[in-house]
Amino acid sequence: MKIILTGATGVLGSHIMYEILELFIQKNSKNTLFIIARNKGKNSALDRINELLSSDYTPKILKDKGLENLHEYLEIIDSDLADIQDTFSEKIQDAYFIHSAGYVNLSTDEDQKEKIFDENAKITKAIFNTFHPFIKKFIYIGTAFSSGIRKGLIDNDFHNLDFTPEHRNAYEGAKFHSENFIAEQCKKLGLPFQILRPSVIGGKMLGNESTYFIQKYMVFYLLAKFFHFTAQRKNEQENVRFIINEETGLNIIPVDYVAKIIVNTFERDDIEQLNIVNDTSFNIAKGLQLIMKEVGYTNFTLIQNTLDFKYKNTIEKLYYESIGKHLKPYFTTTANEYDTTLLNSILEIPKLDQEAFTNMIRYARLRNFKDINV
């Protein structure tokens, strides 16, 4: 078996890499994982992958195998995705292509739109056009939020809708555009494909190794980080009002579960689209209360959306002019849930209760919200 993977140094991609290597070890046969990664500063692509394979958070089965033995399964292509050229078509013939790389940016700023589109849709089109003649299947890792603003129960099919989804930001729009491009092109070419869409990714919850670990703190973690440091800096906590829809929730799914689903699914011909999501979204009001309690910021109020919202103090202004303006569309959106019947039949979805959610935040707080940048 041959697999090509992009994004292996990222939050989700690194866990996909771990799962693929574990699969190869279990198969005990000739398999190759081609990793497309670029150098970063003085660190080559090889250096970056080696760090991920020899760290404190590397799965035990891979550590036991040893770095040298793991490289028997690996071929690293040191290149930026935007510049990659086909110089290895014979090697990758009939490989599965898993495109996990992406630029996660929930910004609603107009001046960010073009960059977000280029880093997601433009690069996806370029690598697809380069590689499709040689591969046997293209697997695109999208986002469940490319569903846009929708209410009720959302199923796995985003390509046969009788309406055009309204997206909250350029990231959602670019991911939706990309997956439609992949689906249309693959159907024209007769090339098998999959669109796999995780929701908001949280820390590990499967097994007992590095529980709640995550490489980079994003989305709800960023809110916790903001108020964690604010609570430490300010003697007097200024009241912050969170504009929310008390009925809505944030769908959070553990990173290791997402990776396992991808590796358990990519060979299946009966699945073209799959949302990798929790069966129940975590209520926004309860989530905010738990976050603020854990980081020690107690002076806050939950309010409904209002047209004449004006900042009352410095902290409220700082919050809404930074991460708050990007998170607000998710906090005020229409309530919905996802149909997880198919997903749950592949691997049971971990339950994210109040204790587990608090533990995710606590894990980050105890590490001072410091990202691991490989």
Tell me the pLDDT tens digit for each residue of 340-351: 999 999 999 999
Helix (H) or strand (E) holding 178: helix 170-189
Quick: pLDDT tens for 237-252: 999 999 999 999 999 9
Helix (H) or strand (E) holding 61: helix 60-65
The residue count of the chain comes to 374
What sign does the dihedral 270-273-277-283 (CA atoms) show? negative
> What are the residues facing 196 on neighbouring strands?
141, 274
User: Does one domain contain both 192 and 263?
Assistant: yes
> Rg of the chain over CA atoms, in angstroms?
21
Q: Residue 208 domain-assigned?
A: no
Domain of 116, CATH number, reads 3.40.50.720
Q: Residue 215 domain-assigned?
A: no
Domain with 289, as residue range(s), is 220-249+282-366
Q: How far apart are CA 168 and CA 173, in angstroms?
A: 8
Q: How far apart are CA 121 and CA 116, in angstroms?
A: 8
> What are the residues facing 290 on neighbouring strands?
none
Structural contact between residues 200 and 219, judged by C-beta atoms closer than 8 angstroms: yes
Q: Using the predicted structure, report yes or no on whether residue 163 has a pLDDT greater than 70.
A: yes
Confidence of residue 79 (pLDDT cuts 50, 70, 90): confident
Quick: pLDDT tens for 299-325: 999 999 887 899 999 999 999 999 999
DSSP letter, residue 99: E
User: Does one domain contain both 65 and 159?
Assistant: yes
Structural contact between residues 202 and 214, judged by C-beta atoms closer than 8 angstroms: yes
What sign does the dihedral 158-170-253-223 (CA atoms) show? negative
Q: Residue 265 domain-assigned?
A: yes
User: Does one domain contain both 133 and 34?
Assistant: yes
Name the residue with tokens 């290791």.
256
Domain of 318, CATH number, reads 3.90.25
Q: Residue 207 domain-assigned?
A: no
User: Does one domain contain both 77 and 99?
Assistant: yes
Q: How far apart are CA 63 and CA 56, in angstroms?
A: 9
Structural contact between residues 239 and 326, judged by C-beta atoms closer than 8 angstroms: no
Closest of 186, 368, 143 to residue 277, by C-alpha: 143
User: Does one domain contain both 81 and 226?
Assistant: no
Q: Residue 332 domain-assigned?
A: yes
Confidence of residue 172 (pLDDT cuts 50, 70, 90): very high
